Structure 1
Amino acid sequence: MASAAAVVHQPSASEIRLVIAASSAGTIFEWYDFFIYGTLASFIGAAFVPSDNDLVRQLTVWAGFAVGFGFRPLGAVLFGYLGDKLGRKYTFLVTVTLMGIATAGVGLVPSVASIGLLAPVVVILLRIMQGLALGGEYGGAAIYVSEHSPPGRRGFYTGFIQASVVGGFVLSLIVVLACKLLMDDATWAAWGWRVPFVLSLALLAISLWMRFKLSESPVFKAMKAEGQMSSNPFKESFTYPGNGKRIVVALFGVAAGLTVIWYTAMFSGLNFLKGPMRIEETAAEIIVGIAALIGMSFFVYFGALSDRIGRKPPIVWGYALTLVLLFPCFWLIGWVMEPSLAISGENVRITPSGFQIMVIIFALLVLSALSGATYGSVAALLSEMFPPKIRYSSMSIPYHIGTGYFGGFLPLIATAIVAETGNPYSGLWYTWAVVLMALVFAWWGLRDGPPRDFADE
């Protein structure tokens, strides 16, 4: 099967470095914008939720978190269409701009005490804008790097995009901690927590400057020159021969599983430390931030490994090991913190010892390694699964349905399960069930053997 993908210009090493740097930086900034909401969830609840009940505030904030994820598939449809019709570069310039403006807006919305119920309404609308933007960002950046990469290095190069998602979470923690360090507690609680949101405008400027220096994807330019563009990428994503099965596998076997593992490691891990383990908030953020920063290397490692052994083995083995190790990792954290919980008052925040910190980081790194195994090669895998002329749409739609609904609703569902049962570990059953489903679909649907382009099918 001849394809434009097979006759493109091969970028130089310096061009590849610029592509990876600009795409990764933009992805870090965009995910920073999206994750800062989750990092500062308690302040958002206090400012914008008209209730004094902590559980109601928590559930409402996580519902808002889920709303952003819920609109990601719509963003994938919209920007996927534009990416396949107009080009990869200009589409993700639009998405990063939309994200930066929406995030800064959250930091500028007056509190519910000032403008009443209009405050949460505006925040939800801005969260919807974030979801739409993110629905177009990941596919654009992943495809852009993938289409610049030689097949034998595609997993390694796109692994930096995967690590950049974690980088956005790490950056959100770093900015929050830096702001706390520069402000007294009263200032931080009163208005200082808004600063990380407004800083997204500076990150937007940097991201746009870097991305404007990029040229269009060589695969897209070749398709356009040869007249191989799709007339309707959205429709053709569901009618192209064999694409139905590929979309099902990408949704249930890839996107759903990888997302719940990573969100459980980072967001559930952070909430577990701040909540049931009663660790002091700043200490918990530093611990999770260190684990996430170290854990970024797993994404690049497993991306590179997939270039040698194929895309399927790390994902399948990562799912299988998650089923075995998920509960023990959280039990380990509970075990090491149990003596401190036993001697402290119910409302007393705990500062963990050095030994406790090391054990917690170890447990989080195990989860990060499992996340890296299931996530590191995914940009390369999904790019190779779909034909170039509808790649942006075909890749983005199942990815953002899987991550948006199975992953985005994880904090809300897990929190509700814990509230219902009273067991701090019970929310993990949601993750376990989704990963089991993903293992079945991945085992059945992902192709065996070495990586290969769609054109080589």
Structure 2
Amino acid sequence: MSQDKTRGGNGMVIAGASVGTVFEWYDFYLYGSLAGFITQHFFSGVNETTGYIFALLAFAAGFAVRPFGALVFGRLGDLWGRKNTFLVTMLLMGLSTFAVGLLPGYDQIGVAAPVALIVMRLIQGLALGGEYGGAATYVAEHAPPGKRGLYTSWIQTTATLGLFLSLVVILVVRTMLGEEVFKAWAWRIPFLVSALLLVASLWIRLRLNESPVFQKMVDEGTTSKKPLTEAFGQWSNLKLVLLALGGLTAGQAVVWYTGQFYALFFLEKMLKLDGALANTLVAIALILGVPFFVVFGWLSDKVGRKPIILLGCLLAALTYFPIFKAITAQANPALAAATATNPVTVIADPADCAFQFDPVGKKAFTSSCDVAKGALATAGVTYTNQAAPAGTLAVVKIGAVEVSGMDGTKLAKADFAAAKTAWTKALGADLAKAGYPAKADSALVHKPAVVGLLFLLMFYVTMVYGPIAAALVEMFPARIRYTSMSLPYHIGNGWFGGFLPTTAFAMVAATGNIYYGLWYPIVIAAVTVVVGVFFVKEMRGANIDA
């Protein structure tokens, strides 16, 4: 490895790359943290369930294009340098995030509002697709022998710190201005703050020099002229890309997003916790977990990357169901008690039940089954399904109490709306009598226990994520490293991970079981364990200069 000439030495390398990446993750994750407000302002023209799924889809759109950003900026990083490339990605990220804070809502410009929002998300996703690979490669190529896992683990802290920073800024603004003001317009402030972070992070990164490994290749004339062709057109390297995806990053991604994003969605959407409280509990767990990224990065220098990553995936797959059920019991004990003592069943003709996601957002779900399931989903009540004879009216069974459904198929639109409101109110009263709370009582939340369970999820995250950068850097040759490692990382985290909240929520909405969405990360994590154990080679300590 060539001698580092960056001002401040290796400490400056880690700090510069890490601080800039924190700000990029802050920008990217603001959207996820504010998904509920995004729904209200940009998707208010559709029904509530569809609007929330649309908001999650717009969130996922930023992840969908990350592999394409990896291709575009990965190629540039292998052609004209690590540093120059992640300066460009940072500028794109900062400007698009600032623009989200200025976009008019659906009530002002109609359908153009969500379209403009999604365009900004796509730009963010493209930029992030080029950012991570550059930062991880840059730091790894500065690291001294035997400390590559330790050095790159600081980059691994940045995603969590960026999420933590976004939660803190949101909490501060909410507390200072109040919920009503925040809901009306102040939710935009955290997006606008990104302009200040952009200026600071650009200043820091401009002080860095190019990676010594890349500079050495430039001096010797050995840089790749066609990094995309070399990375994906040759089976020897393409095979490594596929193994990195299936045996490392896919499982790492779903564990990461379950432990951080889905946990927050679960608290707010399924368990009906107050938003500020849910953000606070998650933020505490995140900050408690951050040091373990470095611990597991350091440990991977001693025992290897693969064992730690795959053990984290295995533990997650085995324990997610009991952990999330314990979170329910501690965060909303009234809901847990009611679910146990007075379980809810929807008894309906299967032909009467639709999958309640309308891409146009204008369809009315008027059958007795759809009205019942829609009301229960909105109330956050878990239910099971039981088939009834064809043509019969749906029945909602709450413990031993049976509530006849409401058939609105023959009602005029105005009459249906009034009848549905009255029926839903009556159902809510019956649910309340059975012990189902409309919202979680913040006073009854066992906050230390919830933080402890969230920290356990976070601990798994640190296991799979702490060593991943070093593992990926070591798998690929220097001349095409930026391109090669970026694609499997961003397919894993952009597609398998990024679509997790949307997919899991849709699975819950379709089945009525608030835990059913966990099958998505469990299955993918388990597949990664199998692929990783049998096909991925441990590369700890490999020469990365060549």
Question: Which interval holds the TM-score relative to the shorter structure?
Answer: over 0.9
- Report deviation, 1:50: 3.7
State which drifts further: 315-324 or 104-113: 315-324
1:46-445 alignment runs, 5 A limit? 46-240=40-234, 242-341=236-335, 342=338, 346-353=437-444, 356-445=446-535
Say which SS state the counterpart of residue 230 (structure 1) adopts.
coil
Deviation per CA, 1:47-81, whole angstroms, max 9, x where unpaired? Answer: 00143522111100011011110110110011001
Q: Percent identity?
A: 44
**Which structure 1 segments of 5+ residues have no match?**
1-5
- Report deviation, 1:428: 0.2
Distance change (3 Å), C-alpha of 1:242 and 1:90: same
What number of residue pairs does the alignment pair up? 449
- Report deviation, 1:338: 4.8
Query: Normalised by the size of structure 1, how large is the TM-score?
Result: 0.95
Deviation per CA, 1:150-209, whole angstroms, max 9, x where unpaired? Answer: 131110111010011111110110010011111022211111000001111111001000
- CA distance, structure 2, for counterparts of residue 235 and residue 449 of structure 1: 24
Q: Which runs of 4+ in 1 moved over 4 A?
A: 10-13, 342-345
Q: CA RMSD in A?
A: 1.7
Partner amino acid for 1:125? V
State which drifts further: 263-272 or 438-447: 438-447
Partner amino acid for 2:457? L
- From the two aligned structures, give the one with the greater helix fraction: 1
Decide whether the 8 Å contact of 1:311 with 1:451 is kept in 2: no
- Report deviation, 1:314: 0.2
- CA distance, structure 1, for counterparts of residue 37 and residue 504 of structure 2: 20
Deviation per CA, 1:297-348, whole angstroms, max 9, x where unpaired? Answer: 1211111000000111101211111121111110111222453334876323
Partner amino acid for 1:350? D
Decide whether the 8 Å contact of 2:94 with 2:195 is kept in 1: yes
**Which structure 2 segments of 5+ residues have no match?**
339-431
Partner amino acid for 1:79? F
Deviation per CA, 1:411-452, whole angstroms, max 9, x where unpaired? Answer: 110000000011110000001011011111211232237432
Partner amino acid for 2:121? R
Aligned twin of 2:369: none
Decide whether the 8 Å contact of 1:384 with 1:454 is kept in 2: yes
Larger C-alpha radius of gyration, 1 or 2?
2
Deviation per CA, 1:100-127, whole angstroms, max 9, x where unpaired? Answer: 0011111110011001111011001111
Decide whether the 8 Å contact of 1:309 with 1:449 is kept in 2: no
Aligned twin of 2:396: none
Decide whether the 8 Å contact of 1:287 with 1:357 is kept in 2: yes
- CA distance, structure 1, for counterparts of residue 132 and residue 171 of structure 2: 26
Q: 1:42 aligns with which of 29, 36, 39?
A: 36
- CA distance, structure 2, for counterparts of residue 298 and residue 399 of structure 1: 21
State which drifts further: 201-210 or 312-321: 312-321
Say which SS state the counterpart of residue 516 (structure 2) adopts.
coil
State which drifts further: 134-143 or 293-302: 293-302
The answer as to 2:18 corresponding to 1:24 is: yes
- CA distance, structure 1, for counterparts of residue 499 and residue 331 of structure 2: 28
Deviation per CA, 1:15-52, whole angstroms, max 9, x where unpaired? Answer: 11111111111111001111000000011111001435
- CA distance, structure 1, for counterparts of residue 7 and residue 37 of structure 2: 45
Deviation per CA, 1:228-263, whole angstroms, max 9, x where unpaired? Answer: 010110110024562122101111122111111111
Distance change (3 Å), C-alpha of 1:336 and 1:427: same
Partner amino acid for 2:502? L
- CA distance, structure 2, for counterparts of residue 350 and residue 213 of structure 1: 50
